[in-house]
């Protein structure tokens, strides 16, 4: 059994497999303006606890896991309708609704939806109840977008999880996926590590770039 995959890596993998591999295989972690702003957005939700609003319990920074999928992480917010008195957190809720906070304005991104869907899969396994939908809250626009966990989205999510586990079981020296140079690359916190201008070049140049790091 491989070690659990962090939920957040699903977002990285679907946005850029190389970015996820640099984190998962080589352990790179870097910060830039965008990651620091993201930390500020999550500042409140990273404080574990709960509160009750209009009979709905809001769980903040709820740790979640799935043994079946080999996943762990946390949900920013889970809106829970309790089975008993709304003033107390119940262990067996009647409904769960995960909410993921994102920095950018309201848009639909496949990687954001899959990350949220993975949270739902964990919650379903932990609590034994269906979680049919959740939401992404976009901090810049202060708008909330509801996401339905369709069979297609669930399949996409589980395939991405399998691909990440395959990286961990690829042997002692797994190869990194090739870079795909995009306009958004310069905004990536691993831009200077990835060097997409070089690593996205044809095979001969890519081989030369790898030789730079060989000792």
CATH of the domain at 49: 3.90.320.10
92 and 191 in a single domain? The answer is no
Task: In whole angstroms, give the CA distance from residue 211 to residue 207.
Answer: 6
Instruction: Answer with the residue of higher pLDDT: 195 or 66.
Output: 66
pLDDT score, position 210? 58
145 and 164 in a single domain? The answer is yes
45 and 75 in a single domain? The answer is yes
pTM: 0.79
Alpha-helix residue ranges (DSSP H) falling in the chain = 8-15, 17-24, 33-41, 110-127, 151-168, 191-194, 196-199, 203-211
Instruction: Answer with the residue of higher pLDDT: 69 or 30.
Output: 69
167 and 192 in a single domain? The answer is no
| The length of the chain, given as a count of residues | 215
Q: 21, 15, 93: which is closest to 52 by C-alpha?
A: 93
Task: In whole angstroms, give the CA distance from residue 187 to residue 26.
Answer: 20
17 and 113 in a single domain? The answer is yes
Average pLDDT value for residue range 171-184: 76
What digits encode the pLDDT tens for the residues 179-209?
888 887 888 888 888 877 776 666 555 565 5
Instruction: Answer with the residue of higher pLDDT: 134 or 25.
Output: 134
Residue with tokens 């905004």: 187
pLDDT score, position 171? 65
**Residue 14 contacts by C-beta under 8 Å, 6 or more apart in sequence?**
110, 111, 114, 156, 160
Instruction: Answer with the residue of higher pLDDT: 116 or 192.
Output: 116
What digits encode the pLDDT tens for the residues 7-25?
999 999 998 888 888 888 8
pLDDT score, position 46? 61
pLDDT score, position 5? 92
Total domains in the chain come to: 2
Q: How confident is the model at residue 45 (pLDDT cuts 50, 70, 90)?
A: low
CB 168 within 8 A of CB 3: yes
21 and 55 in a single domain? The answer is yes
pLDDT score, position 153? 97
Q: Is the pLDDT of residue 31 over 70?
A: no
Instruction: Answer with the residue of higher pLDDT: 178 or 46.
Output: 178
103 and 16 in a single domain? The answer is yes
23 and 119 in a single domain? The answer is yes
113 and 41 in a single domain? The answer is yes
pLDDT score, position 38? 47
As given in the structure block, the two tokens for residue 85 are: 């008195």
Task: In whole angstroms, give the CA distance from residue 147 to residue 155.
Answer: 15
Q: 174, 182, 175, 180: which is closest to 201 by C-alpha?
A: 180
**CB-side exposure of 203: number of CA atoms within 13 Å?**
0
Task: In whole angstroms, give the CA distance from residue 215 to residue 186.
Answer: 28
pLDDT score, position 32? 47
* Whole-number average pLDDT of the chain: 81
158 and 206 in a single domain? The answer is no
pLDDT score, position 178? 80
């Amino acid at each position: 059994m491989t070690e659990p995959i962090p939920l957040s890596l699903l977002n990285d993998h679907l946005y850029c497999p190389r970015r996820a591999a640099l984190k998962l295989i080589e352990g790179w972690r870097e910060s830039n303006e965008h990651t620091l702003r993201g930390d500020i957005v999550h500042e409140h939700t990273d404080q574990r606890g709960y509160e009750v609003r209009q009979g709905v319990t809001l769980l903040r920074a709820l740790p979640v896991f799935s043994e079946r999928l080999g996943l762990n992480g946390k949900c920013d917010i889970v809106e829970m309708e309790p089975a008993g008195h709304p003033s107390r957190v119940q262990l067996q809720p009647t409904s769960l609704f995960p909410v993921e906070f994102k920095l950018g304005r309201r848009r639909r991104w496949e990687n954001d939806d899959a990350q949220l869907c993975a949270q739902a899969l964990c919650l379903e396994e932990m609590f034994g109840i269906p979680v049919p939908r959740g939401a992404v809250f976009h901090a810049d626009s202060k708008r909330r977008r509801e996401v339905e966990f369709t069979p297609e989205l669930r399949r996409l999510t589980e395939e991405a999880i399998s691909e990440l586990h395959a990286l961990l079981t690829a042997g002692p020296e797994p190869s990194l996926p090739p870079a795909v140079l995009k306009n958004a690359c310069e905004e990536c916190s691993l831009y200077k590590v990835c060097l997409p201008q070089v690593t996205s070049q044809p095979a001969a140049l890519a081989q030369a770039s790898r030789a730079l790091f060989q000792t």
